[in-house]
Amino acid sequence: MLSHMHKHAEYLDPILSRYQYNAHHLLQILREAQEYYGYIHADAIDYMAQQLQLARSQIEGVASFYSLLYLQPQGEYRVLFSDNITDRMLGNMQLMESMCKELWVEAGKVSEDGLVSINTTSCTGMCDQGPAILVNNIVINQLTKERVSAICELIREHIPLSDWPPEFFAIEDHICKKDILLDSNFKAGSALAKSLRHSALETLQEIKTSKLRGRGGAGFSTASKWEFCRSATGEQHYVVCNADEGEPGTFKDRVLLTSYADMVFEGMTICAHVIGAKKGFLYLRGEYRYLLDHLQAVLHHRRQQSQLGNNILGHAGFNFDIEIHLGAGAYICGEESALIESLEGKRGTPRNRPPFPVTSGYLNQPTVVNNVETFACASLIGLHGGAWYANIGTDTSAGTKILSVSGDCVRPGLYEYPFGVTVAQVLADCGAQNTQAVQISGPSGICVAANEFDRRIGFDDLPTAGAFMVFDYSRDMFEVARNFVHFFKHESCGFCTPCRVGTSLLANMMDKLAQGHGSPYDFAEIEKLNVLLLSTSHCGLGHSACNPVLDTIAKFRPAYDKQLIHKEFIPAFDLDYDLSQARQMTGRDDAGAHLERTNVSK
């Protein structure tokens, strides 16, 4: 068509043809297309629109949804600082500031020479070895002042990322406590071979007997999910492994995929046998891009061993294979119906339910979506049987749970326990001292205070997707909650009114408190917002967005009281604060640029 699209055709054609010009692969196409310019060029959008028969606005709509995709030129080096509270506690903000200074660039902007852009991003799942950054979407951990300087030097010298010191990219497993899963010495193919000696229904029965419940947070019975899907009619059935792992403080799926990938893929294959699926997807969060080659190699090996492909392990007619889809920076895509939308190449907006994915999932076909750990557990059950598994843990929470421990402790990392372990036990094992609070299951979970450390991990006391963030008495729990609230604001998909606007209102209120302009009135407002978000939000993100604030107000009230300059009235406005923008623009922050701190509204 137009000549300006021509130069884009050259690199886009191979990508498009690899994805068969199928718009359902739009997200994968965009991600790969971006690798050429570091952003998605406007003319490239026109070309893709033409080739995929989409409107360019649809492509723009998808690309602009994901925070790791860009429609504007970025720096040749895109540096993103992981901004979970655990990164903050390890000093990420100071490190970002010094990098900005060294490279003469303002956070959130591109340097004038186009060399570098620096910004923050949501938790990258490296909390046990932070502070972490992504450089052109590849992770670098354990940032120190020295490492930051070295990186600045490499950037200034235009050294390609592939030539940076390999130790920068080292990522540790940090497995600190093993139980049945992490200590299983799993032999690839063993669980599958055993399962295939039984009928699909018998295998399903084993899963039922095991009392396995989903490890992604909600704890739905895995056998019921597989059974619903199996009995749902459709042209195809699909197995999806949820490796979006976006909940701040959670990183166990990363380790499972690093060192236990066979167990995960094998669990998916067993599921495929049960529900009659030919195709599976691993939805891998974009931040774990560095795992892609390794995972492809594991899949390749499994195909060679006839653990994937046609007539698996000689089982005539049992055909199944797995494709990896990468996300591109959107926590909401961990929600199963948003994940499916994203798999279909769309904006990650949660669907209206019912219908649920088990009857109408990927391409509106019956689909099982399970967490990475759930599939790994299914392999164990395939190998050792349901009764063996059901005997471990507690009555309502069978088996073990892998916790991702981070924050104020001597040994952050992975800890596997039979369900029913107390918070105190975990704290003792990881070497935590003077612990003030533990955030269980991330911002959308529960914050427990010292007087609750005898509570137990399990579905009927402290359910968790895995995060276990430890805060000692030196930490300000108000700032912890404020960080979480900003996370929700950033990650709200924007579909429904209560969450889209409510998370911003909440973040503004917390910022207002942080600036000392809050009053007890704001607490009542937060309570009201919580009720509204709980009763009217479209999905779990909105439902839990107020949790961190409500929990910390209830349990750490002094942390809030110290923010209250005004104990009774609501300041209508603060002139000095309103001048802050002018101060920023003029680069002034001296006394003359401030109004005297008086109560304007009094």
Residues forming the site for other proteins (CB under 8 A): 42, 45-46, 54-58, 60-61, 64-67, 330, 347, 352, 354, 489-498, 500-505, 508, 528, 531-532, 535-538
Q: Scan residues 339-398 and list those touching ligand FMN (CB under 6 A).
A: 369-371, 374
Q: What is the DSSP letter of 5?
A: G
437 to 103, 471, 475: CA distances (angstroms)? 38, 5, 9
| Nearest CB to ligand FMN, comparing residues 217 and 413 | 217
Q: How far is the CB of 444 from ligand FMN (least distance, A)?
A: 7
Q: Which is nearer to ligand FMN, 39 or 66 (CB)?
A: 66
List all residues 6 or more positions away from 245 whose beta carbon is below 8 Å from its beta carbon. 125, 251, 252, 253, 254, 285, 288, 334, 372
Told to check if 227 binds ligand FMN by CB under 6 A, we report no
Tokens representing 530 are: 């919580």
C-alpha–C-alpha distance, residues 74 and 276, integer Å: 45
For the CB of residue 18, give the shortest distance to ligand FMN in the complex, in Å: 27
Cα–Cα separations (whole angstroms), residue 192 to 127, 137, 174, 261, 541 = 34, 35, 28, 14, 36
Binding of residue 245 to ligand FMN (CB under 6 A): yes
Contact positions with ligand FMN (CB under 6 A) in 195-224: 214-218, 220
Nearest CB to ligand FMN, comparing residues 218 and 595:
218
Give me the least distance between CB of 331 and other proteins, in Å please: 10
Tell me how far apart the alpha carbons of residues 289 and 143 are, in angstroms, rounded to a whole number. Answer: 19
Give the chain's end-to-end CA distance (angstroms, integer): 66
- By CB under 6 A, tell whether 539 contacts ligand SF4: yes
With CB under 5 to 8 Å by kind, the binding choice for 532 among ligand SF4, ligand FMN, other proteins, none is: other proteins
**Token output for 408:** 């104020």
Q: Would you say 21 or 388 has its CB closer to other proteins?
A: 21
Task: Give, as ranges, the residues between 284 and 343 that touch ligand FMN (CB under 6 A).
Answer: 332, 334-336
The nearer residue to ligand FMN, 117 or 349, going by C-beta atoms, is 349
Number of residues this chain uses to bind ligand SF4 (CB under 6 A): 14
Count Cα neighbours of 109 within 13 Å in the Cβ-side half-sphere.
9
Burial category of 257 from C-beta neighbours within 10 Å (exposed 0-12, middle 13-18, buried 19 and up): buried
Lay out the site mask for ligand FMN across 507-546 (x = CB under 6 A, - = otherwise). --------------------------------xxx-----
- Contact between 466 and ligand FMN per CB under 6 A: no
Asked whether position 529 contacts ligand SF4 by CB under 6 A, the answer is no
- Cα gap 257→279, rounded to integer Å: 19
Nearest residue (CB) to ligand FMN, 218 versus 292: 218
Task: Tell me: does residue 499 bind ligand SF4 (CB under 6 A).
Answer: yes
The three-point CA angle 557-559-563 to 5° equals 110
The one among 38, 276, 385, 494 contacting ligand SF4 by CB under 6 A:
494
User: How far, CA to CA in Å, does 164 sit from each of 101, 153, 170, 185?
Assistant: 21, 11, 12, 34
In the window 40-99, what residues touch ligand FMN (CB under 6 A)?
none
**What is the crossing angle of helices 372-384 and 261-275, to 10°?**
80
> Which is nearer to ligand SF4, 431 or 494 (by Cβ)?
494
Give the DSSP H or E segment for 293: helix 292-304
CA dist list (Å): 287 to 35, 120, 123, 390? 15, 13, 9, 34
The DSSP result for 206-240, as a single string, is HHHHHT-B-SSSS--BHHHHHHHHHHS--S--EEE
214 contacts which partner out of ligand SF4, ligand FMN, other proteins, none, CB within 5 to 8 A by kind?
ligand FMN
- Summarize as ranges the residues that interact with ligand FMN (CB under 6 A): 214-218, 220, 242, 244-247, 332, 334-336, 369-371, 374, 539-541
- Summarize as ranges the residues that interact with ligand SF4 (CB under 6 A): 332, 350, 492-496, 499-500, 537-539, 541-542
